[in-house]
Amino acid sequence: MVRPHWRRFVVYSNRPNAGSADYTDVSSLLSLGRALLLSLDPRSSVHQRLDHDLATVASACLKGPEGAQAASAICKLLAEAFGSHILSFHELHIFIKAVFRVQPIAALSALLQSPPDHGTAYPTILSMFEDFSELHRNPIGEVEDDIVLEWCARDPARNFAAAATSVSYSRTGPEGGGLIWTDLAQTMLEQAPEPRNVLASFVARFQPHSWSGSRAAIIEANTALLVSVESSTHDDLAMLARQERQRLLEECRSERRWESEMSRRDDERFE
C-alpha cells in the first residue's frame, strides 16, 4: 500500500520551507516522489482516488532537468493508458494538468501522438479530451503559447498539425461579437510549413462530438472563422477555407432541418 508514502511527500510539499537549504532530506524525498510516480498503475482505483496527491507530488518533484526523464516515462505511461481506454478522460485530470505545467514538452510529445486504436475518430490522444472540455479544460491549456510553438518547431511538418488537434482555436470577438481566431491559432497558420494541414486539423473540430444546445449553431459560429482565411495570400489555404466553409454551411442547413424535425416531434408528443 503506497498511500502512507504519498501522504509523507504531500505533507513535506506543503511545508512553508519545503525545498529550503536547511531541509536536508529534500533530495531523497524528491527521488521518492519520482519513484512513486513511476510506480503508478493507471488501472488501480487507489491511484485514481489520489488525483490531488499525485498532482502535488508531480508539481514538486518533476520540475527541471532532474524531473525530465521521469516525466517523459510517466507521460508515455499515461498516453498509453488514455489511448487504450484504460483510463477515461475525467480521471487523474488534476494530475495530468500538473504534469503539463511542470514538463510541457514531455507531455506534448507523448500525448500528441496517434492513439494505439487507429480506428478511433480522434487524430491524437490529447484530442480525446475535447469532449470533456465543458467539465475540464484541455490539459494543453496549461501550456504557454510560446512553449507550444517551441514544440511545434522541433518537427514542423508534423507537430503544427498535431498541436492544432487540441489547442484552443477560437475566442469571442470584441464587444461580444462572433468568434475570432486565438493568437496561437493565427500564429500557427502563419508559421506552419503546411498551413493547409493545420487548418484541416482546426476544421475537423468545428463539428463537435458532444454538445449542448444547437449543434447547427455551434458549427455555424465556428465556420465564420474561415472568412478571414479566404483572403490568405496562400492560394491553396484560401481555397481550402472556401471549400470547407461551403461544406460546413451545407452541414448547418442539414443539421437545422434535423433539429427542427426533432423539435416538431417533441411538440407533438406533448400535445
CA–CA gap between residue 103 and residue 112 (Å, rounded): 14
Residue 7 within a domain = yes
**Structural domain of residue 218, as residue ranges?**
169-271
pLDDT at 200 exceeding the cut of 50: yes
Lowest mean pLDDT among 17-26, 100-109, 128-137, 240-249: 17-26
Q: Domain boundary at 61, 88, 103, which? A: 103
Q: Domain boundary at 75, 103, 131, which? A: 103
Number of CB atoms found within 10 A of residue 108's CB: 26
- Name the average pLDDT for the chain: 85
Residue 137 within a domain = no
Give exposure, 226-247, as e/b (b: 16+ Cβ within 10 Å).
beebeebebeebbebbeebbee
- The predicted pLDDT at position 8 comes to 54
Q: Domain boundary at 62, 84, 103, which? A: 103
Residue 118 within a domain = no
CA–CA gap between residue 133 and residue 130 (Å, rounded): 5
Residue 232 within a domain = yes
Residues 89 and 174 in one domain: no
What are φ and ψ of residue 70, in 5° steps? -65, -40
Structure pTM? 0.85
Residue 126 within a domain = no
Number of domains in the chain: 2
Residues 183 and 85 in one domain: no
Instruction: Give the pLDDT mean for 145-153.
Output: 98
Instruction: Indicate the pLDDT class of residue 85, thresholds 50, 70 and 90.
Output: confident
Residues 253 and 178 in one domain: yes
pLDDT at 55 exceeding the cut of 50: yes
Contact between residue 206 and residue 220 where contact means Cβ atoms under 8 Å apart: no
Lowest mean pLDDT among 16-25, 89-98, 242-251: 16-25
What are φ and ψ of residue 230, in 5° steps? -65, -20
Residue 67 within a domain = yes
Residue 78 within a domain = yes
> Percentage of the chain surpassing pLDDT 90?
55
Query: Which single residue is written with the C-alpha cell 423539435?
Result: 263
Residue 141 within a domain = no
